[in-house]
Structure 1
Amino acid sequence: MLFWNCFFILFIVAKAQFLKSNIVFIVADDLGWDDVSFHGSDQILTPNLDTMAYQGCPLQQYYTDVEGTPSRSALFTGKYAMRLGTQGVSIKPSEDRGIPPTERLLPDYLKELGYATHLIGKWGVGKSRAHYLPSNRGFDTFYGFLGDAVDYFTYNAIDKSDKATFYGLDLFDDMDPVEDESRHLTNILTEKAVQVIREHNTSTPLYLHISHAAPHIGGALTDLQPPLDSLKDNEYIAHPLRRLYAGLVTSLDKSIGNIIAALAEREILQNTLVIFVSDNGAPTIGRSQNYGSNFPFRGTKSTPWEGGVRSVGVVWHASIPARRYNNLFHVTDWLPTLVSAAGGTVTNKIDGVNQWKNLINDDATPPRQEVLISIDELRGWAALREGDFKIVVGDLSQTFNRYYGMDLKQVKHARMTPFYEDVLIDSETGHVFKETLNLILDVDLAEIKRSDLNLTQLYQGVHRDICIPSKAKGCLYNITADPLETQDLWDDSPDIVRRLSLRLRSFWSDLKPRSPPLSDLRADPSARGFVWLPWLENNSSSVTSTPSRPSFPLKVTSGEVKYLINININDLRTKVNSYINRMGGAIIDSVESLFSLS
Structure 2
Amino acid sequence: MWSDSKLIWRKWLFLALVASVSASYYSQPNIVFIMADDMGWNDVGYHGSDQIPTPNIDALAMQSVILQQYYSEAICTPARSALLTGKYPMRLGMQGFPLYNSEDRGIPLSERLLPSYLKALGYSTHLVGKWHVGMSRPEFLPTARGYDDHYGMRGGFVDYYTYNKVETWPNGRLMHGLDLFDNDIPQVNEDRYAVDLLTERAINIIHSRNTSCPMFLHVTHTAPHAGNTGGPLQPPLYRPVGHRHIAHSDRRLYAELVAALDHSVGRIVEALYEAQILHNTIIVFMSDNGAPTVGDLNNWGVNLPFRGRKETPWEGAVRVPAFIWHAGFKPRICDSLMHITDWLPTLIRAAGGSITHEIDGINQWDSLVLGSELKRKEVLIAIEDGGNNVYGAYRAGDYKIILGNVTGMRNDYYGEDFMINKEPPPPYFPVLTSSYVAAVFQRMGIYFDPVQVQATRDAAMIRQKDKERDATLCLPTATRGCLFNVRQDPMESHDLWDRANNIAKLLERRLRMLWGMQMRRGPLALGEGADPANFGYTWEPWIYNGTDISPQQTTTPSSQSNKQQQKAAVNARTKTKADNCDCGDNFRNFVCLFRCIF
Query: Is 1:526 aligned with 2:533?
Result: yes
Query: Is 1:260 aligned with 2:272?
Result: no
Which residue of the partner structure matches residue 210 of structure 1? 219
Which residue of the partner structure matches residue 387 of structure 1? 397
Alignment partners' CA distance in 2, 1:461 and 1:185: 45
Query: Is 1:58 aligned with 2:66?
Result: yes
Question: How do residues 507-546 of structure 1 correspond to structure 2 at under 5 angstroms?
Answer: 507-540=514-547
8 Å Cα contact 1:157-1:220 kept in structure 2: no
Alignment partners' CA distance in 2, 1:375 and 1:524: 30
8 Å Cα contact 2:466-2:488 kept in structure 1: no
Alignment partners' CA distance in 2, 1:504 and 1:457: 26
Question: How do residues 72-87 of structure 1 correspond to structure 2 at under 5 angstroms?
Answer: 72-87=80-95
8 Å Cα contact 1:171-1:178 kept in structure 2: yes
Instruction: Letter of the 1:292 partner, please give it.
Output: G
CA shift at 1:466, angstroms? 1.4
Question: How do residues 230-379 of structure 1 correspond to structure 2 at under 5 angstroms?
Answer: 231-363=240-372, 365-378=373-386, 379=389
Q: What is the DSSP-based 3-state SS (H/G/I as helix, E as strand, rest coil) of the residue aligned with 1:58?
A: strand
Gaps in structure 2 of 5+ consecutive residues: 1-21, 550-598
Which residue of the partner structure matches residue 41 of structure 1? 49
Which residue of the partner structure matches residue 424 of structure 1? 432
Q: What is the DSSP-based 3-state SS (H/G/I as helix, E as strand, rest coil) of the residue aligned with 1:257?
A: helix
CA shift at 1:463, angstroms? 6.2
Instruction: Letter of the 2:199 partner, please give it.
Output: T
Of residues 496, 501, 506, the one that matches 1:499 is: 506
Q: What is the DSSP-based 3-state SS (H/G/I as helix, E as strand, rest coil) of the residue aligned with 2:507?
A: helix
TM-score, length of structure 2 as denominator length = 0.86
Alignment partners' CA distance in 2, 1:462 and 1:293: 21
CA shift at 1:455, angstroms? 1.8
Which residue of the partner structure matches residue 192 of structure 1? 201
Instruction: Letter of the 1:467 partner, please give it.
Output: C
CA shift at 1:541, angstroms? 8.1
Q: What is the DSSP-based 3-state SS (H/G/I as helix, E as strand, rest coil) of the residue aligned with 2:231?
A: coil
8 Å Cα contact 1:233-1:247 kept in structure 2: yes
Instruction: Letter of the 1:334 partner, please give it.
Output: W
Q: What is the DSSP-based 3-state SS (H/G/I as helix, E as strand, rest coil) of the residue aligned with 1:245?
A: helix
Alignment partners' CA distance in 2, 1:516 and 1:222: 31
Aligned residues: 525
Of residues 161, 179, 203, the one that matches 1:170 is: 179
CA shift at 1:39, angstroms? 0.4
Q: What is the DSSP-based 3-state SS (H/G/I as helix, E as strand, rest coil) of the residue aligned with 1:255?
A: helix
Which residue of the partner structure matches residue 473 of structure 1? 480
Query: Is 1:413 aligned with 2:427?
Result: no
Q: Which moved more, 1:212-221 or 1:269-278?
A: 212-221
Which residue of the partner structure matches residue 12 of structure 2? none
Query: Is 1:88 aligned with 2:96?
Result: yes
CA shift at 1:461, angstroms? 11
Which residue of the partner structure matches residue 489 of structure 1? 496
Q: Which moved more, 1:531-540 or 1:325-334?
A: 531-540
The 1:335–1:230 alpha-carbon spacing in structure 2 relative to 1, beyond 3 Å, is farther
CA shift at 1:273, angstroms? 0.3
Q: What is the DSSP-based 3-state SS (H/G/I as helix, E as strand, rest coil) of the residue aligned with 2:245?
A: coil
- Structure 1 residues 328-358: Cα deviation after superposition (integer angstroms, max 9, x where no partner): 0100000000000000000111100000011
8 Å Cα contact 2:468-2:494 kept in structure 1: no
CA shift at 1:74, angstroms? 0.2
The 1:308–1:231 alpha-carbon spacing in structure 2 relative to 1, beyond 3 Å, is farther
The 1:40–1:140 alpha-carbon spacing in structure 2 relative to 1, beyond 3 Å, is same
Which residue of the partner structure matches residue 566 of structure 1? none
Q: What is the DSSP-based 3-state SS (H/G/I as helix, E as strand, rest coil) of the residue aligned with 2:544?
A: coil
User: Identity of paired residues, percent?
Assistant: 47
Alignment partners' CA distance in 1, 2:406 and 2:150: 38
Which residue of the partner structure matches residue 458 of structure 2? 451
Q: What is the DSSP-based 3-state SS (H/G/I as helix, E as strand, rest coil) of the residue aligned with 2:332?
A: coil
Instruction: Letter of the 2:82 partner, please give it.
Output: A
8 Å Cα contact 1:23-1:208 kept in structure 2: yes
Instruction: Letter of the 2:449 partner, please give it.
Output: D
8 Å Cα contact 1:295-1:456 kept in structure 2: no
CA shift at 1:460, angstroms? 7.0
8 Å Cα contact 2:130-2:155 kept in structure 1: yes
Alignment partners' CA distance in 2, 1:337 and 1:371: 16
- Structure 1 residues 381-409: Cα deviation after superposition (integer angstroms, max 9, x where no partner): 00000011100000112111111111101
Alignment partners' CA distance in 1, 2:238 and 2:471: 42
CA shift at 1:276, angstroms? 0.3
* Largest Rg, 1 or 2: 1
Which residue of the partner structure matches residue 29 of structure 2? 21
Which residue of the partner structure matches residue 404 of structure 1? 414
Alignment partners' CA distance in 1, 2:467 and 2:530: 49
Question: How do residues 118-197 of structure 1 correspond to structure 2 at under 5 angstroms?
Answer: 118-161=126-169, 162=171, 164-197=173-206
Which residue of the partner structure matches residue 575 of structure 2? none
The 1:315–1:230 alpha-carbon spacing in structure 2 relative to 1, beyond 3 Å, is farther
The 1:166–1:37 alpha-carbon spacing in structure 2 relative to 1, beyond 3 Å, is same
CA shift at 1:98, angstroms? 0.7
Alignment partners' CA distance in 2, 1:151 and 1:403: 28
Instruction: Letter of the 2:222 partner, please give it.
Output: A
CA shift at 1:180, angstroms? 1.1
Which residue of the partner structure matches residue 31 of structure 1? 39
Runs of 4+ in 1 over 4 A off after TM superposition: 456-464
Instruction: Letter of the 2:479 partner, please give it.
Output: A
Q: Which moved more, 1:166-175 or 1:396-405?
A: 396-405
8 Å Cα contact 1:151-1:220 kept in structure 2: no
Alignment partners' CA distance in 1, 2:415 and 2:469: 12
Alignment partners' CA distance in 1, 2:228 and 2:336: 35
Alignment partners' CA distance in 2, 1:447 and 1:53: 13
Alignment partners' CA distance in 2, 1:444 and 1:386: 35
- Structure 1 residues 35-80: Cα deviation after superposition (integer angstroms, max 9, x where no partner): 0010011100101111111111111011011100000000000000
- Structure 1 residues 161-220: Cα deviation after superposition (integer angstroms, max 9, x where no partner): 215211100000001000111111000000000000010122210000000000000146
The 1:531–1:273 alpha-carbon spacing in structure 2 relative to 1, beyond 3 Å, is same
CA shift at 1:228, angstroms? 2.7
- The alignment yields a C-alpha RMSD, in angstroms, of 1.7
Query: Is 1:439 aligned with 2:449?
Result: no
TM-score, length of structure 1 as denominator length = 0.86
Q: What is the DSSP-based 3-state SS (H/G/I as helix, E as strand, rest coil) of the residue aligned with 2:335?
A: coil
- Structure 1 residues 78-118: Cα deviation after superposition (integer angstroms, max 9, x where no partner): 00000010100100111111100110000000000000000
Alignment partners' CA distance in 2, 1:119 and 1:493: 46
Alignment partners' CA distance in 1, 2:267 and 2:101: 31
Instruction: Letter of the 1:385 partner, please give it.
Output: R
